[in-house]
Amino acid sequence: MTKTQKASIIKRKFLLHYGQAKTELKYSNLYELLVAVMLSAQCTDKRVNLITPALFANFPTISHLACADIQEVKLLIKSCSFFNNKANHLIAMAKQVMENFNGEIPHTQNELKSLSGVGQKTANVVLIEYFGENFMAVDTHVFRVSHRLGLTRAKTTQKTEEDLVKLFKDHLHALHQGFVLFGRYVCKAVNPNCQDCFVQEFCTTTKSFKPQ
């Protein structure tokens, strides 16, 4: 079986199990989603969901965040990893949206990436979740699952993303969400639930992979 044939079967199985999957981050609009995704870098969705209610109560819109006091933002997100840097990025991002995009969060990858603290993964996650765009975002879960299934041998998240896009081509938004949830609850880094795995026939190892 070729890698392309294997990828086709894996794709079909993931779309069957996770075709309607959505992020576990809680949000009610594009502004809240972008902030939540920025906070989620190297932090769990569960933790972010504990932080954001108070943050959004104090800063309900992008314009409020643009005028925020840095110390107040730090206090509200202090239980999040790298909260000092994230607070600076959040306020800088909000100011850029107000100044460069007339207060409207942009809808394209390149424009999102122009914002402080927004890299390609964050931009792609926002576009995947909010707009259903055909992008792949590679976090630790996607990286681990794709390597365990032998879909890529890439050392970085960027190259892994390129390999997965080339293999799968479409339905990337659903596959991203599926790989995240599968990696979070089944194909875990430690003690994976192999008995619940629906693609076990393609698993090459239970080694935990981390990007460089």
Residue 65: closest CA among 140, 115, 5, 136: 115
Catalytic position from the list 86, 139, 188, 210: 139
Alpha carbon distance 210, 147 (integer Å): 9
Task: With CA atoms as reference, report the closest residue to 18 among 128, 166, 157, 120.
Answer: 128
Active site residue 121: yes
Among candidate residues 11, 86, 121, 163, the one labeled active-site is 121
d(CA 125, CA 11): 19
Annotated active-site residue 11? The verdict is no
Q: How far is CA 149 from CA 6, 9, 84, 207, in A?
A: 9, 12, 37, 11
CA distance 114 to 11: 32
Tokens of 195: 């008995």
- State the catalytic residues: 121, 139
